[in-house]
A and B are shown apart, each in its own frame.
Chain A
Amino acid sequence: MIKYLSMIGEHTIQITVQSAICLKIQNLFNSINSTNQLTSINVKIKFGYGESFTDYQVSIKKDANKISFQRSDYLIESTPDYTSATIHVHDELALKHALMNLYSSYIVYHNWGLLIHSSCAIENGKAHIFAGHSGAGKSTAARLSEPRALLSDEATIVKISENSITVFDSPFRSELPSTGYQQPTPLAGIQLLQQSEKIRLEKMRKPDALLSLMDKVFYWSHDPVETQRIMGLLRTLVEKVPVYELYFRKDPTFWELIS
């Protein structure tokens, strides 16, 4: 077994993995030099579990000492505060999804922020999120944003506090691999995508924005306490950052409306 440190958001993750597959894992979650920061999450990764991905159905079991998330291709066994977990996975896709599941649970539990189903690009030192239902054009918007740097193409890591809303470089990539680590960037706005022949940008009312974002958060647990935390975080988010409906067609002209 090999132990190494990686970073997700501003959290240090200690990953323990069989040496034979360590390099493969490090492609997904880069190794960093030791830090003076305390380790936030300890993760032990074991391959050889279950079968290939069949669907997104996750069953959750919880008792006083442990919470587990089980899908056909992964099993997470974690402490209830998500600081220490063993992840059994079938393959790399299962590992990515399992770590998203664990990390999203961790940041909600600790009231740090949210993992939002969206892409995010940087323009003039400010982050702009593109969210929408499946097929609305999150990846397309990310691709059309070149040569702007991307913080995410599928799952955006958003730190939410009363003082600031900050987006962190996401290792949870789908189609567009990272072109190099991007520094944490203040969030300027959220665009909810609607495909349309005519481009336009309309600012949403905050209650509408909050409700539209609820189903864009990656979250698995059905614990009422944690649902309340998500509501609180989303409320702070829409209080601090404008949310727009962006009607766009597949060309980069929408950036003229945003910047």
Chain B
Amino acid sequence: MVQFIQKNSFEATQIEDEWIILDTDQYTVTRLNELGGFCWLKLGEAQTVDSLQTAIDQEYGADCEKDSIDRFLTDLKKCGLIRHAI
């Protein structure tokens, strides 16, 4: 199972119901909603699609589709915020 983890050099700020992730190396900004921010914090440690799905279920009591989590991880990877964990 593929594992993902945050890259380094980020400053994450929560304000109202959003997270603003500042990449201090690339000088890019990514905005996440509350659920995205929750997943982002989890990605401080290596996560799989399955482990994130379980964590979301435990926190919110919601059954999040694996496809949605997969798309979210693909987007984060495109933004340069996460990498494959070795």
Contact = CB atoms under 8 A, between A and B. Distances in A.
A231 B11 contact: yes
B81 to A, nearest CB: 15
B20 A210 contact: yes
Number of contact residues on B: which range applies? 10 to 19
Main secondary structure of the interface of B (DSSP, over half): strand
A180 interface: no
A31 B29 CA distance: 42
Given A205-B16, A206-B16, A228 B29 contact: no
Contacts, number: 34
Q: Which of B15, B18, B31 has the most CB of A within 10 A?
A: B15
A224 B24 contact: yes
Nearest to A207: B18
A238 interface: yes
A21 interface: no
Contacts of A239: 15
Given A206-B15, A238-B15, A239-B15, A211 B20 contact: yes
A235 B13 contact: yes
20 contacts: A206-B15, A207-B18, A207-B20, A210-B15, A210-B20, A211-B20, A211-B29, A211-B31, A224-B9, A224-B25, A227-B11, A227-B22, A227-B24, A228-B11, A228-B24, A231-B13, A231-B20, A232-B13, A235-B13, A235-B15
